[in-house]
Structure 1
């Protein structure tokens, strides 16, 4: 049975990978529809021939890497179960220490280590790819340091979650998923509050915006939007990337609007103000809180489905997986496998919600700044800096894109600009 499941798993992975290779390199069409050719959304109007070629090439490889690495994680967890590695990790933990919570820690260090090693090639290829296309400026030592930092932060958080989760499974075989979800609510809020002031500074240096004139303009915009902001933060990213970004993070008194220094170095003040107006929209429309609620609702459904699927799979394949019961720590790879698959399946819906919010934020920025030209040139520069496809293939947008495509964003701004000129002409006549 185990050999049969493993064979089917490998075949499914190969077919999945071959399908997306064929789709991305031979079938998908990323060319612009005729009606957009020659407009400001046409990459041929703001990228040279080499940049056009590189953006198409880089995007295809990057998307393929995503569609190969995601199911590879599932395959890894499947073979951890089938090869008895999960059982071995638990045996080693019981031999090493006597206390249950320490056994969980030892088991998890083994599982985390092998997972880290298995996924490291994909992480390195992604790093090397962005370095080759001059998007990443990060040296290898710095990249490896961040990978190890990720490992230990994820290990610490996972240890807390797994310890509580399996304690709940032993206490309530039927309702553990509900109790786990109830505990996840304050934990999610706590982590969101903690993220900008504890976790993010471990990776980068944050400081108040140095350009005080620009900061004054941004704070004046924040005042008009009734946002209680005292500072705009910039983060030193130029040592790691040439890409541009700005974001809003945190909740309550820890909420922050952050600009990468690459954005400050490459964009004009008008373009930066447009970006800031976009980020302020997320605060004004309470997208952070909406996202927390949405995430919790998805996690409730996810935990419920995971509980049902784990019960069914342990009953049917428990012997092949060497997992005697759902509440046994050996079932953790199965839990992680199901959660990862559910997250992938639900990603089109979560992406759709995110794209709606980003569209709302773009419209807010247009209305606040009344500067559609700054928005158009900003999105053109973002495309150039990140070698992004203006019109990505449908399945890429469906599974990956949490933002509208650059075609949609630029054409929306062009339409606004056209309507504004039309209105002015009508008023003048």
Structure 2
């Protein structure tokens, strides 16, 4: 056990050094020769100081992503290896004999431990964003959001764990099928309540104050056969200088939302392009396709977690003090395996998402007919969020759910030339 513990720590340190070397020295972020001097070239729309900030910020932010990626895996592994998972279960069983209360106690202490252990990295990400003027939220506001997220996560996780472990104890070999069947309506329920229950916990939402702009946005929605009667704005300027817009919710709770920073940093025609892009997702049923794909994927994910967990307990359960999957002590193992499955699948899901984002760009161009506004919007997004125009291949592969700006702007410039 001592050798495993030391090996885990040393391995994590070596991994961190390898990622740092890759990002600072090994990765190729140079612009393709045929794009030099085009509108996709950051030197044509960023100052020398802004380019330096983008380079610094991107490297540090990417390094922090790669550091945090396996961090929870290490935490869960050490909890299991050192007996912490079993100790929390023993304590919860001493407090109460009711299984659903034991689950709540276990979830609380597990979440608290993981939150405290990962807090330094979370705070570093917040400090980094604030030092580069991306985040403008004060520390007290940031801490409030962390606390809200903490208790929200506990409530949802408690519900999930109570149902999950009931199924595991009731259907030892087929629990994963029952869990998957219940997972489907649960996802739709969360999507339905998110715009009206979860999102307002973090920000204030109001109807768009600029009625002329709202009328133009609703005009685009009408052209796209989207039944919308209002547009919402959210006061993100209290927290960030970045800009964004999105369509959220399902059914009667669907909403078109834009950040108020969008209103101050973009021109009207640029805003209309961004909103047309979001409408493209709706028209092309990207949300439905995404949910359907996620449901199919989750079927195999539940099975893989079940099979791997059963194999681990069968081979090393005695050493880990986990005799059966129905013990609460197995929760860190399930979370570890689920996180690994999601990570392995992330390159595929990211590639699908990038394709959908590109098709939404195409739709928005065809709807608005204004490629210049689209290019201006993407250039301003790059400037406001210090985004990499041409990220390293590994970063794009593992992180990017949207096409890099070099791809988006170069496509728009090509479209513009063809139109001319």
Alignment TM class, shorter chain as reference: over 0.9
Question: SS where residue 81 of structure 1 aligns?
Answer: helix
Aligned to 1:424: none
The whole-number CA distance in structure 2 between the counterparts of 1:197 and 1:89 is 35
Is contact 1:237–1:260 with CA below 8 Å preserved after alignment? Answer: yes
The alpha-carbon deviation at position 333 of structure 1 amounts to 0.3
The alpha-carbon deviation at position 280 of structure 1 amounts to 0.4
Alignment of 1:135-284 (within 5 A): 135-284=134-283
The alpha-carbon deviation at position 96 of structure 1 amounts to 1.4
Aligned: 1:345 with 2:340: no
Is contact 1:82–1:322 with CA below 8 Å preserved after alignment? Answer: no
The whole-number CA distance in structure 2 between the counterparts of 1:339 and 1:10 is 22
Is contact 1:282–1:361 with CA below 8 Å preserved after alignment? Answer: yes
The whole-number CA distance in structure 1 between the counterparts of 2:25 and 2:188 is 44
* Moved beyond 6 Å, runs of 4+: none
Is contact 1:6–1:78 with CA below 8 Å preserved after alignment? Answer: no
CA-to-partner distance for each residue in 1:194-223, whole Å, 9 max, x for gaps? Answer: 111110011001111100000000111111
The alpha-carbon deviation at position 104 of structure 1 amounts to 1.1
The alpha-carbon deviation at position 302 of structure 1 amounts to 1.0
The whole-number CA distance in structure 1 between the counterparts of 2:9 and 2:334 is 20
Distance 1:205 1:343, change over 3 A: same
Aligned: 1:33 with 2:32: yes
The alpha-carbon deviation at position 321 of structure 1 amounts to 2.0
| Residues 20-29 or 401-410, more deviating | 20-29
CA-to-partner distance for each residue in 1:272-319, whole Å, 9 max, x for gaps? Answer: 000010000011011111111111122111111111110111112213
The whole-number CA distance in structure 1 between the counterparts of 2:343 and 2:236 is 29
Aligned to 1:326: 325
The alpha-carbon deviation at position 345 of structure 1 amounts to 1.3
Aligned: 1:355 with 2:354: yes
Question: SS where residue 325 of structure 1 aligns?
Answer: coil
In angstroms, what is the RMSD of aligned CA positions? 0.9
The whole-number CA distance in structure 2 between the counterparts of 1:9 and 1:333 is 17
Aligned to 1:62: 61
The whole-number CA distance in structure 1 between the counterparts of 2:192 and 2:395 is 31
The alpha-carbon deviation at position 353 of structure 1 amounts to 0.6
Aligned to 2:5: 6
Tell me the matched-pair count. Answer: 420
Question: SS where residue 238 of structure 1 aligns?
Answer: helix
The whole-number CA distance in structure 1 between the counterparts of 2:59 and 2:75 is 24
The whole-number CA distance in structure 2 between the counterparts of 1:324 and 1:15 is 33
Aligned to 1:396: 395
Aligned to 2:284: 285
Question: Structure 2 regions of 5+ residues with no counterpart?
Answer: none
The whole-number CA distance in structure 2 between the counterparts of 1:314 and 1:14 is 28
The alpha-carbon deviation at position 94 of structure 1 amounts to 1.4
The alpha-carbon deviation at position 19 of structure 1 amounts to 2.0
The whole-number CA distance in structure 1 between the counterparts of 2:403 and 2:68 is 24
Aligned to 1:114: 113
Is contact 1:249–1:288 with CA below 8 Å preserved after alignment? Answer: no
The whole-number CA distance in structure 2 between the counterparts of 1:321 and 1:138 is 43
Question: SS where residue 31 of structure 1 aligns?
Answer: coil
TM-score between the two structures when normalised by the length of structure 1: 0.96
CA-to-partner distance for each residue in 1:14-47, whole Å, 9 max, x for gaps? Answer: 2322221111111002120111010000000000
The whole-number CA distance in structure 1 between the counterparts of 2:312 and 2:350 is 29
Aligned to 1:123: 122
TM-score between the two structures when normalised by the length of structure 2: 0.98
The alpha-carbon deviation at position 373 of structure 1 amounts to 0.2
The whole-number CA distance in structure 2 between the counterparts of 1:143 and 1:191 is 24
